[in-house]
Amino acid sequence: MSRIIIVSIGSRGDIAPLTGLGVRLKEAGHQVVMAAHSVFDELITGCGLEFREMATNLDIDMTNPDVDKQKAGLKFAVPAGVRATGEGMIAALRDEPADLLLLPQLTELAGLALAEAKGIPAIGLRFQPMSATAAHPPSSMGVWSLGGIGNRLAADIGTWLVDRIYGGVVAGFRRDLGLPAVSVRELRRRRTAAEWLVLHGYSPVVVPRPDDWRPGLEVTGYWWPPRPLDWEPPADLVDFLDAGPAPVFLGFGSLVDSTAHSAEVSEIVGKALRQAGVRGIVQAGWLQLDVTGDDIMTIGEVPHDWLFPRMAAVVHHCGAGTTAAGLRAGVPVVGVPSYSDQPFWAKRLTDLGVSAGTIAHDRLSADRLAAAIRTAITDPALRENATRVAALLAAEDGIGETVKAIEAQLAVNSKS
């Protein structure tokens, strides 16, 4: 069988679904290595996968109250940050034996050059739709349709900007790897002409595959993260759940901000739970929320597939992974999106009839949140729709479809 490297950069929500894919590939007989930053070592090895550390840790200083977390996060998006991250990837994997690279979108700039230098194929992995289509705007560009022509134009402009901003970075990667100089536009044209395979790890129930996508852009279904080996729920969490009615979950994932804002959001969350008259489970997350009360418990990382089905409703930031977990659990949702693709997923939850409301993070208040929570736990239509969608997702095998597609690509490459 093949030796496959999954390259992963981003937050926990970007890494966790890839561990599910890695585990299934390993079960299919492949040798799987996951390359990531050091903060995710335990997450990856805890699933029984090999880990390779890449330099430049995305989580650096995020828990330091003296750090401007928004500025720290932006450093990784500017060309210098992308260059540093890509150089760390290349240094870690340049001499690593491999038959195939699996590349999420954040790793493509360096990863495609690395695959070319190694003379091996690469397959793209994405958690949201970004390719041009008339059906909807790119997921990172908001929620309002610009019409068929406008939606495609928005995606094309976004692609042009990416190529303009990072073209020099890609040229540097290629130079360092001994590859000939080729413009990023030409490289993109070649991938399109070759119908380069990109697998999207979300359900077509949630976002159908657009009819106007080119061949090679495929929607497989979700990639569910596995629970860590030998994981057991914390005893105090089990006791809390057993002590009363199902609580409401609140968490904002990898959102980072100032310590003052963390305290403000913690106060809003606690007040909203008390106004709504419900028990609450609050996930600290990168925002480092800390909410106390007789009927409120603040927790760290707990597998969503275990926790969410035990909730009366879930309030979250609408990241791709958390959105998927909430839909899988079949519970009503309150969306609190902030940036990037989060408003896109919040709108999809509304369109599916499972959301009690969307509150932009910068408009979050105790009154708005309490009202949405009350709707989430009292509107039977939301629960019915959530149950229906969960049943549809349960009938899918997104990882199985992805493994089939990867193995088919490997078979084609072995004959060429």
Q: What is the pLDDT of residues 183-198, one digit of tens each?
A: 999 999 999 999 999 9
Give residue 173's pLDDT band: very low, low, confident or very high (50, 70, 90).
Answer: very high
Judge whether residue 4 has pLDDT over 50. Answer: yes
Q: Reply yes or no on whether the pLDDT at 152 is more than 90.
A: yes
Q: Based on the domain organization, do 241 and 386 belong to the same domain? A: yes
Which tens digit of pLDDT belongs to each residue from 10-43?
888 889 999 999 999 999 999 999 999 998 999 9
The total number of structural domains that make up the chain = 2
- The two tokens of residue 249 are 């979950």
The residue with greater pLDDT, 81 or 374, is 374
CA distances, 297 to each of 149, 250, 377 (Å): 48, 10, 19
Do residue 251 and residue 173 come from a single domain? no
Range of the domain at 34: 3-222+396-415
Which pLDDT does position 59 carry in this prediction? 46
Local confidence band at 358 (pLDDT 50, 70, 90 cut-offs): very high
In a domain, 350, yes or no: yes
Q: pLDDT of 75-118, one tens digit each?
A: 677 898 899 999 999 999 999 999 999 999 999 999 999 999 99
The model's confidence at residue 65, banded by pLDDT at 50, 70 and 90, is: very low
According to the model, what pLDDT value does residue 13 have?
Answer: 84
Angle at 287 between CA 283 and CA 291, to 5 degrees: 50
pLDDT tens digits, 315-345:
999 999 999 999 999 999 999 999 889 999 9
On whether residue 229 sits in a domain, the answer given is no
Alpha helices by DSSP H, 177-302: 184-193, 235-242, 259-276
162 and 259 co-located in one domain: no
| Mean predicted lDDT score pLDDT of the chain | 92
pLDDT per residue as tens digits for the range 238-269: 999 999 999 999 999 766 555 667 889 999 99
Q: 395 pLDDT exceeds 90?
A: yes
Q: Evaluate whether residue 208 is within a structural domain.
A: yes
What is the per-residue pLDDT for 21?
98
Diameter of the chain by CA atoms? 65
400's enclosing H/E stretch is: helix 398-415
Same domain, 38 and 82: yes
pLDDT at 63: 45
Closest CA to 171 of 181, 163, 162, 161: 181
Check whether residue 327 and residue 408 sit in a common domain.
no
> Cα(282)–Cα(284) distance, rounded to whole angstroms?
6
Claim to verify: residue 38 and residue 169 sit in the same structural domain: yes
Residues 246 and 172 in one domain: no
Domain annotation covers residue 149 = yes
Indicate the range of 54-58, 115-119, 199-203, 232-236 predicted with least confidence: 54-58
pLDDT at residue 56 tops 90: no
CATH code for the domain in which residue 256 is found: 3.40.50.2000
pLDDT of residue 254: 65
106 in the same domain as 65: yes
Residues 268 and 210 in one domain: no
User: Which is more confidently placed, 209 or 257?
Assistant: 209
Task: Answer yes or no: do 386 and 334 share one domain.
Answer: yes
User: Does residue 294 lie within any of the structural domains?
Assistant: yes
DSSP 290-315: ---BTTEEEE----HHHHGGG-SEEE
34 falls within a domain? yes
pLDDT of 66 reads 46
Residue 100, both tokens: 């195939």
pLDDT at 261: 77
Q: Is residue 228 part of a domain?
A: no
User: Is residue 41 domain-shared with residue 141, that is, in the same domain?
Assistant: yes
Q: Is the pLDDT of residue 61 over 60?
A: no
User: What is this structure's pTM?
Assistant: 0.93
Q: Is the predicted pLDDT of residue 392 greater than 60, yes or no?
A: yes
Same domain, 303 and 370: yes
Q: Long-range contact list for 78-85, CB < 8 A, 24+ apart?
A: 79/165, 79/166, 79/168, 79/169, 81/56, 82/109, 82/166, 82/169, 83/169, 83/172, 84/55, 84/56, 85/9, 85/54, 85/56, 85/58, 85/110
Is residue 192 a part of any domain in this protein? yes
Closest CA to 218 of 404, 34, 24, 411: 404
- 55: Cβ contacts below 8 Å, ≥ 6 apart: 37, 84, 87, 88, 91, 92
